[in-house]
């Protein structure tokens, strides 16, 4: 899968409505669908699963490439998340520290919004939150925080015809721009205190 | 169905109509009957040969895992409780509350499966935990000050109204302020895409995570774990049957080989 298909883009551009219809919970399809519509929706799910996995695994590959040679390299390839879980969980997680004091990842999720977005994030253990905050303070990036201490950035919704490898490379570049300084700060902090 | 959902469905159908070529005749079916169905016995025979060949390629670890499935009976089958959620979650609680090396290995494999990394000691595991909002979650894992996790399991039943959102709401309050964000796990047979902030996993994922553990430990605990995993393998997924591998039907052999491959990839 090289590019974002029309169906994939259509679903991504309909966010929570697409989620309610296509990924409806339970064994029965959403009430109100005709038999043909229910069948058509069921038929596109394998394509969507492949698309989700293609994009998120390409993001992971691109991040791995960026992290090559960096002190976090042994950890980023550690505990490789299964590809099937990228679709079920809407995200791929990548450790930034073998002691699991920091993780990062890519999420393709709606989070209740009108569109799916590609989100990039770094989570650090609360012992290292302050140094992580300092590490990104002067980067001038549009990073927001959630209640669990993650640093997040929202990227645009992938559109039909966009190349998967280009989207992944760009997302990985953005993520590495703040994951790397955070990772460095956490590693240095742990080494200095060990 | 809400108006925006109807609009989405119509847009999707329009898109699909543009891209799906119409099936104008039954040529594909005729070709299938001619080239596949007419040689069905030959194909099955060849595929069975492939399964036997694949079985011979397994390494020592995979053979030990296969032996767990061949050599143990199903724990819940004689009780008529193979699809009883409470029986499954009671065993889960028993296993995760166990602080022996086998229990800790099971904890480690579980946290790896759900993608968190939390301390593996001081786990307080409570089945059928009643929450402050009156809901009852199947399993609570409480690691004081570190992490809180709820596991909701479904074997046959459907998710109740607002069940997962209610658990998520309770978890976000009770589990706040700990070292690690709280986790809500939704454990099902078939796997469902994550909703309400729940982490979906399947009983097959547990089989993949814990079969190597059952194969590498001895003693009563390992035997109970093995027998429960056989319940999952035989009664929920039909990836094994009583008796040795070579006596299983081809489809079962195929599913068990796929399982062994998935175990190897997950490690």
Q: Quote the pLDDT of residue B102.
A: 97
The two most distant CA atoms of chain B are separated, in Å, by 66
Task: Please report, for residues A66, A94, B102, the alpha-carbon distance to residue A120 in angstroms, rounded to integers and kept in the order given.
Answer: 15, 11, 36
Are B6 and A32 inside 8 Å of each other by CB?
yes
**A88 → closest Cβ in B172, B194, B266:** B194
Over range B134-150, report the average pLDDT: 93
pLDDT in tens, B222-263: 999 999 999 999 999 999 999 999 889 888 998 999 999 889
CA–CA separation, B252 vs B267, rounded Å?
A: 23
Q: Quote the pLDDT of residue B21.
A: 58
Exposed, middle or buried: residue A50 (CB in 10 Å: 0-12, 13-18, 19+)? middle
CA–CA separation, A147 vs A18, rounded Å?
A: 26
Q: Which residues of chain B are within 8 Å of residue A79 when distances are taken between CB atoms? A: 112
Are A10 and B176 inside 8 Å of each other by CB?
no
Distance from CA of B247 to the nearest CA of A (A): 31
Report how far Cα B4 is from the mean position of its chain's Cα atoms: 34
Q: Domain spans of chain B?
A: 3-56, 60-266
ipTM confidence score: 0.86
CB A190 within 8 A of CB A141: no
Sign of CA dihedral B143, B149, B154, B157: positive
A87: nearest CA partner in chain B: B193
Residues paired with A123 in a beta bridge: A103, A150
Q: Quote the pLDDT of residue B5.
A: 93
**A21 → closest Cβ in B8, B15, B192:** B8
């Amino acid at each position: 899968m090289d590019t974002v298909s029309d169906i994939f883009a259509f679903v991504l551009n309909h966010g929570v409505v697409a989620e309610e219809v296509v990924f409806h919970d339970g064994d029965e399809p959403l009430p109100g669908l005709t038999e043909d519509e229910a069948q058509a929706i069921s038929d596109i799910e394998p394509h969507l699963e492949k698309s989700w996995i293609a994009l998120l695994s390409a993001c992971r590959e691109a991040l791995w490439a960026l992290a090559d040679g960096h002190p976090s390299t042994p950890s980023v390839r550690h505990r490789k998340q299964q590809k099937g879980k990228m679709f079920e969980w809407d995200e791929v997680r990548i450790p930034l520290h073998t002691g699991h004091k920091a993780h990062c990842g890519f999420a393709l999720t709606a989070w209740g919004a009108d569109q799916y977005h590609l989100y990039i994030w770094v989570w650090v253990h609360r012992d290292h939150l302050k140094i992580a905050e300092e590490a990104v303070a002067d980067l001038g990036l549009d990073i927001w925080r959630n209640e669990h201490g993650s640093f997040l950035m929202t990227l645009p919704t992938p559109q039909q015809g966009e190349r998967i490898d280009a989207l992944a490379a760009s997302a990985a570049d953005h993520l590495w721009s703040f994951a790397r300084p955070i990772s460095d700060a956490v590693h240095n902090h742990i080494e200095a205190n060990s | 169905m809400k108006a925006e959902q109807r609009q989405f469905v119509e847009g999707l159908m329009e898109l699909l109509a543009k891209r799906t070529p119409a099936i104008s005749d039954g040529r594909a079916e005729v070709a299938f009957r001619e080239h596949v169905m007419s040689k069905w016995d030959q194909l099955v025979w060849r595929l069975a040969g492939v399964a036997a060949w694949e079985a011979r390629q397994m390494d020592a670890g995979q053979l030990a895992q296969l032996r767990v499935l061949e050599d143990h009976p199903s724990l819940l089958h004689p009780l008529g409780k193979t699809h009883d959620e409470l029986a499954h979650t009671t065993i889960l609680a028993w296993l995760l509350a166990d602080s022996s090396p086998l229990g800790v290995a099971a904890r480690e494999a579980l946290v790896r499966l759900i993608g968190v990394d939390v301390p593996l000691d001081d786990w307080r595991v409570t089945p059928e935990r009643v929450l402050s909002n009156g809901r009852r979650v199947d399993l609570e894992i409480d690691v004081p000050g570190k992490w809180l996790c709820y596991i909701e399991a479904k074997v046959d039943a459907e998710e109740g109204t607002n069940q997962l959102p209610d658990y998520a709401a309770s978890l976000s309050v009770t589990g706040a302020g700990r070292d690690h964000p709280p986790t809500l796990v939704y454990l099902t047979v078939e796997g469902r895409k994550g909703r309400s902030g729940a982490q979906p996993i399947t009983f097959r994922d547990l089989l993949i995570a814990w079969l190597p553990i059952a194969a590498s430990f001895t003693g009563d605990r390992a035997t109970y774990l093995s027998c429960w995993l056989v319940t999952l393998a035989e009664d929920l997924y039909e990836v094994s049957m009583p008796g040795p591998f070579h006596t299983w039907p081809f489809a079962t052999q195929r599913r068990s080989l796929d399982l062994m491959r998935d175990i190897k990839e997950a490690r």
